[in-house]
A and B are shown apart, each in its own frame.
Chain A
Amino acid sequence: MKKLLYALLLVASASIFVVQAKAQVIVIANPSVKTSEVSKNDLKEVFTGGSTALPGGGNVVPILLKAGTVHEEFLQAYIGKNDTAYRAGWRSLVFSGQASMPKSLDGDAAVVEFVAHNAGAVGYIGKTSPHEGVKVLAVK
């Protein structure tokens, strides 16, 4: 049985590789969010369920992209996790009754549309995506 387990681990390790893509991400917020800048640590707190407010910015609600290069880059740059590990953290909160899952949307346009029309919403999109009706938060 030990040999079987070691073989499984070896096969799995050898057959898996990483593909990384690069994009540029901006963090956007509903104009009701009172601040124009946010620290990387405070942003991480909000997007991992550790906080529901930004210092100087009032109560906020994180909005996610469902998948894609922009989503992966945001997670790597500001959360320090990939999508699997990131969602595992949220599942712990959701299935133990400590939080509700953030809304996940299909693309940049949907995120901009939602953030623009919902007070306190904070999301992220590709740098080149149109983003009328929202404010861009500088990440310190």
Chain B
Amino acid sequence: MLVGAMALIISTSLHAQEIKLGSKTLQVHGFGTEGFVHTDDNNWLTMNTSNVGSGEFTDFGANTSMQITTHFRAGAQFYDRNVGKLGRWHPELDWALADYKLKPWLGLRGGKVKTVLGLYNDTQDVDSAHTFALMPQSVYSIDMRDATLSHIGGDVYGTIKTPKLGKFSYTGYVGDQSQSIQGGYPYLLQIHGITIDKSGGLTYGGDLRWQTPIKGLLAGVSYEGNHVRNTGTLNPSIALGGPNEVIPYWEQSRSQFAKTIYGDYTYKNLRIDSEYKYFWRDFTIFNGGFQALTGTHGWYQSAAYRVNRWFEFGGYYSHFDLGWIVTAPGQFDAASVSDPSRHLYDKVITARFDLKQHWYAKVEGHFMDGNAAGNNPQYPNGFYTQVNPQGIKPNTNALVVRTGFSF
């Protein structure tokens, strides 16, 4: 939190930098946020939020980029976060790419590239660009952020304008999805005696979005497929009743994909978003001994209205439910979706204050029905037994305050 506060103080005197390199210009930009979360019951998002609250909610990033020729651009960004037990101050190369745009309808991008999936997957860390302090967790869960965030590979993209049907933008990609091991899923697996030290695999997919002839209305679909393999170590005594020893561990997907469909409507200062995401994973777990199948449905409906340059308010309803089948011993079948362990319905209101051109603050209330934590969790969604050893209660209210800067 101290680091975040210092960054915010420094930010008041920071501006985007441009460095001349011959006839070219190198741009330097950065951002950072500091948050505080208080909840009434459960500890949330791996933080100890339920007593006084937690300020372990910090992130920052910086990038450089250069337009080398009219068509060719290159750049890189690093990113670091510490959100409770997530991130843990392990800096990562967020993206590093070369981008060659041959024509409006054909561009190529290569390197480590943010994955286009739905409306905001590639911009979910850019807090300054969003109304809400926390994006709808049903679709943009900060626990599972790493699972779809970026890939090392190549994209082909472009935009095609039509005289009467509006504008179509497409992105297709293939690459290796090298995931952070500081995310919610590796943290969740620790309760089963599993430590993940490497995660990744083939990923491929695409996005098609349509800027319709109706002014301000956009619609789109995305798909991402993955072949993921996680490796690390396992203590079989914890989850399987085996010997108390540490052995090599692996698990891998038999099938994993995400599908989204989304719409966005902007009229003057009003913005309305809606998005649905289905995620499916069929995993071979415990060194091939068992199988875990998980399916999640997430959708949200949000609206935000900017009153003037200083103030914006908004709200959303975020709906998430999951089901699972796990063949490992000691696992429970999924209860009815009406059970709090299988759903998380979050009603949110937010006020955003743009204090200066580069500095803003947000105040947000969450009113959550359910915890979607599962009976014996296999899928992370904000609530963890590690930080809720007394058990996870059905409902949670939360106050989130977040301030940030960008330059």
Contacts and interface: CB of A to CB of B under 8 A. Distances in A.
A50 B357 CA distance: 23
A4 interface: yes
Interface in A62-119: 67, 80-85, 87-89, 91-92, 94-101, 103
Interface string B223-252: 000000000000000000000000000000
Contacts of A94: 29, 63, 65
| Residue of A91, A97, A103 most packed against chain B (CB within 10 A) | A97
Nearest to B103: A53
A25 B113 CA distance: 38
Interface string A1-26: 11011001100110011100000000
Given A85-B306, A91-B129, A100 B95 contact: no
A35 interface: no
B114 to A, nearest CB: 5
B397 A1 contact: yes
B27 A100 contact: yes
Nearest to B311: A16
A95 B126 contact: yes
Contacts of A96: 95, 114, 122-123, 126
B6 interface: no
B67 A100 contact: yes
Nearest to B124: A96
B351 A82 contact: no
A7 B65 CA distance: 43
Interface of B: 16, 18, 25, 27, 29, 31, 38, 40, 61, 63, 65-67, 70, 73, 75, 77, 95, 97, 99, 101, 104, 113-114, 122-123, 125-126, 128-130, 159, 268-269, 306-313, 349, 351, 353-354, 357, 363-365, 367, 397, 399, 406
